Amino acid sequence: MADLFETELNKLGRGPGAKPDAAAKARALALAVVAFDDEQKKSAGTQGSENRRRYTNALKHLWSLPMNKKYLAASVAAALVLPAAGLTIHLMSDRPAYYMAADRGGVSFDNTPGGTAGDVAMKVSPTTDYLYRNDIGVPEANHMETDILAQETSAQFRERMAAVDLAVIESLRLSSGQMSGDVREASPRLQAIAMEQTAMEQIPSVSRARFAAGSANTFHDVAVEPVSTFSADVDTTSYSYARREILAGRHPDADSVRVEEMLNYFPYDLAGPESRETPFKPNVTVMTTPWNKDTKLVHVGIKGFDVPVAAQAPSNLVFLIDVSGSMESADKLPLLKTSFRMLVNKLKPEDTVSIVTYAGTSGVALEPTKVADKERILSVIDGLEAGGSTAGADGLAEAYRLAERSFVKDGVNRIMLATDGDFNIGPSSDEEMKKLVETKRKSGVFLSVLGFGSDFYNDALMQTLAQNGNGVAAYIDTLSEAQKALVQEASASLFTIAKDVKLQVEFNPDKVSEYRLIGYETRALEQKDFNNDKVDAGEIGSGHTVTAIYEIVPKGSHARSVDDLRYSKPETLKEAGTGSDELAFVKIRYKEPDGGTSKLISVPVTAADADRLSFDVKFSVAVAAFGQKLKGEAYVADFSWSAVRSLAEEGLGDDPFGYRAEFLKLVDVAGSLPGVTHTEAPGNMDDRIRTLR
């Protein structure tokens, strides 16, 4: 079979071939993808065989990944061509390529079970092992290492992140047509696989991900609109989704970029409150805008009270897991299962876990079970398989029933929905799902959302469910991200310290002419909503930080876009601010987790807050510039990618988990992508790779 494959391939290679037509390729791929999706949705039963390791050979497995949209071709290609460093991998018949033997001494991958390596053997570094095991999910048999990962040190974590960096570098080499020596020296069959993967990358990708359309905030005249009101937001989906797109060589959809979620992705060392009685402490700084010397930034950072582990109440969690056919790929259900294993290992023995699955119909996979019986919970997670259509609404109703049955008074009662958002059976409109979670949150059961995958990802619905279910939304693209969201930040994700958190900033017209809020477009509220306790807003968990940045035009600045109004200035503003050195006044309204009446915290912004620039302030402003550039905002058009990087470097500070260092590399890659408008020359590939290293 191998000889026949190589012979036919060589014949094709010697032939003249048809003239390449990128547009035709794109159309053909789009039609194929639509047809594939339609066939997936027609299936009502379990897809595939009962054997989870059902791949017939490596060639079919690797080729099926991009053709079935199961995983990014760049990641597979990168793993194939990493430099040799002592671990030998062979192609095999009965295990997926990302499975590694326990002894780590090399596994046989061949076209026949038990066969020899033959001409397809090649050496790759342990980075390949990391990439396959962690970035696309650890298979069922490798749970020992998964459990250890949940407790690894920050130094070990940084080592793993460095391994992924190397994979990204090799992806860049492939996308520029630079084959590494390992591929050139490998067998013709392996070269063919790598070339096929590279060719697939040149065809424009087709994604059916859905995002809510929106436009960036503009400047407001303080004389007409002196007050800005918005809901707090601690979601992080936008940053991790953008990271996945950028590292795959794609510019993220502008509607997927929410600057506030990028800002709030990173932990900041802000001063926090001393007790839970006052759950927040505002931190305010004023600085000159890096991208416009005629304006200033008002930086507001809010730090939530960090509840000690010993004082944390018991948890009643329901895992609502999408096992539909669209979840079959390695970056979805396999990664999801490993992520939930990590979370279970973080819980306390007295906590309760239930599991509900849905695909065509919903069902209870695990009745409420104490974490003391951990092995039973993990066994159910391990046994999950994908297949069928998606009946999300029925699954939600079943999950709420179990959560209410095991309700813990004064404890954590939360549903954790894990899905790609491809709801296509039953009551599935955003409005119907919104009504369901709005009604059920009154019972004290909150809903959080974990998103997986990029091809079907319904971000608009995920945001709707999390925002109206008194929960948070996160996007899990790698096992490293699962560790961050479900292990390192478990307390913030699970333990709510305040709900319906709203912020309102009133600007002094005697000192400020105009202002614009950077981000928070989907969280905007009316001024009258601030004091209305019936209006829902965001939740903040234990130790969470919320960052908001306003760009303001000081009175008399050349950046003023409109003239003062001679006759229509509101009477209420004639005397406001006269003689005061206040630039603005910040108010925060919140409710206790089980309360119905809001409380108020307020703080003025004065000249004394100017230029108190910490590492956190500098870094967060760099992130704000990064997000605006990805969104294509004109305000930062003249602020180069290298300027973004320089500002972030100034704000690196203490970076125990390497998140900020990773951001620097992301800026480098984003600045060299096609479709990103920037003012500097991109430089050649070798320069970019040296920068990444």
DSSP state of 59: H
Mean pLDDT, residues 470-494 taken together: 91
Q: Taking the model in full, what pTM does it have?
A: 0.69
In the predicted model, is pLDDT for residue 186 greater than 50? no
pLDDT class for 321, splitting at 50, 70, 90?
very high
CA-wise closest residue to 100 among 90, 86, 110, 113: 90
Question: In three state form, how does the secondary structure of 239-308 look?
Answer: HHHHHHHHHCCCCCCHHHCCHHHHHCCCCCCCCCCCCCCCCEEEEEEEEEECCEEEEEEEEEEEEECCCC
Q: Which of 45-59, 114-128, 400-414, 549-563 has the largest mean confidence?
A: 400-414
Q: Please tell me which residue, 45 or 487, carries the higher pLDDT value.
A: 487
pLDDT, residue 600, reads 96
How many residues make up the chain in this entry?
Answer: 693
Q: Which helix (H) or strand (E) holds 583?
A: strand 582-591
pLDDT class for 32, splitting at 50, 70, 90?
low
Report pLDDT digits (tens) over 613-646: 899 999 999 999 999 999 999 999 999 999 999 9
Triad 498, 616, 235: Cα angle to 5°: 40
Whole-number Å distance between alpha carbons of 178 and 172: 8
pLDDT, residue 558, reads 82
pLDDT class for 210, splitting at 50, 70, 90?
confident
pLDDT class for 491, splitting at 50, 70, 90?
confident
CB 174, CB 248: distance < 8 Å? no
pLDDT, residue 148, reads 46
CA-wise closest residue to 679 among 627, 640, 626, 650: 640
| Residue-averaged pLDDT of the chain | 74
DSSP state of 21: -
| Least confident segment among 138-142, 156-160, 574-578 | 138-142
CB 330, CB 64: distance < 8 Å? no
CB 190, CB 120: distance < 8 Å? yes
Whole-number Å distance between alpha carbons of 605 and 296: 13
pLDDT, residue 636, reads 97
- Rg (alpha carbons) of the chain, rounded to whole number: 26
pLDDT class for 396, splitting at 50, 70, 90?
confident
pLDDT, residue 387, reads 77
Angle of helix 659-671 relative to helix 237-247, nearest 10 degrees, comes to: 50
pLDDT class for 29, splitting at 50, 70, 90?
low
DSSP secondary structure string for all residues of 584-635? EEEEEEEE-TT-SS-EEEEEEEEGGGBT---HHHHHHHHHHHHHHHHHT-GG
Beta bridge partners of 287: 297
Residues of the chain by 3-state class (helix, strand, coil), percent to 5? 40, 20, 40
CA-wise closest residue to 142 among 96, 102, 93: 102
* Phi/psi at 26 (5° precision): -65, -40
pLDDT, residue 462, reads 84
In the predicted model, is pLDDT for residue 72 greater than 60? no
Whole-number Å distance between alpha carbons of 445 and 470: 8
In the predicted model, is pLDDT for residue 50 greater than 50? no
In the predicted model, is pLDDT for residue 288 greater than 60? yes
- Helix segments in 442-516, DSSP class H: 459-468, 479-483, 490-494
pLDDT class for 146, splitting at 50, 70, 90?
very low
pLDDT, residue 10, reads 56
| Least confident segment among 95-104, 186-195, 446-455, 638-647 | 95-104
**Calculated CA dihedral for residues 464, 468, 470, 472, nearest 10 degrees:** 10
CB 414, CB 318: distance < 8 Å? yes
pLDDT, residue 38, reads 54
Report pLDDT digits (tens) over 344-393: 999 999 999 999 998 866 789 999 999 999 999 999 999 998 876 656 67
In the predicted model, is pLDDT for residue 432 greater than 70? yes
In sequence order, what are the residues at sequence separation of 6 or more whose Cβ sits closer than 8 angstroms to the Cβ of residue 576?
226, 508, 509, 510
pLDDT class for 464, splitting at 50, 70, 90?
confident
Mean pLDDT, residues 253-271 taken together: 94
Report pLDDT digits (tens) over 672-683: 998 655 434 333
Q: Please tell me which residue, 58 or 377, carries the higher pLDDT value.
A: 377
In the predicted model, is pLDDT for residue 249 greater than 50? yes
* Phi/psi at 112 (5° precision): -125, 135
Whole-number Å distance between alpha carbons of 508 and 511: 6
pLDDT, residue 317, reads 97
- Walk me through the domains of the chain, giving residue ranges and CATH numbers: 57-202 (no CATH), 220-307+497-559+580-692 (2.60.40.1230), 310-494 (3.40.50.410)
pLDDT, residue 67, reads 40
| 501 Cα distance to chain centroid | 22
pLDDT, residue 565, reads 67
| Least confident segment among 65-69, 323-327, 400-404, 566-570 | 65-69
| Least confident segment among 161-165, 310-314, 406-410 | 161-165
CB 146, CB 105: distance < 8 Å? no
CB 511, CB 583: distance < 8 Å? yes
Burial of 565 (0-12, 13-18, 19+ CB in 10 A): exposed
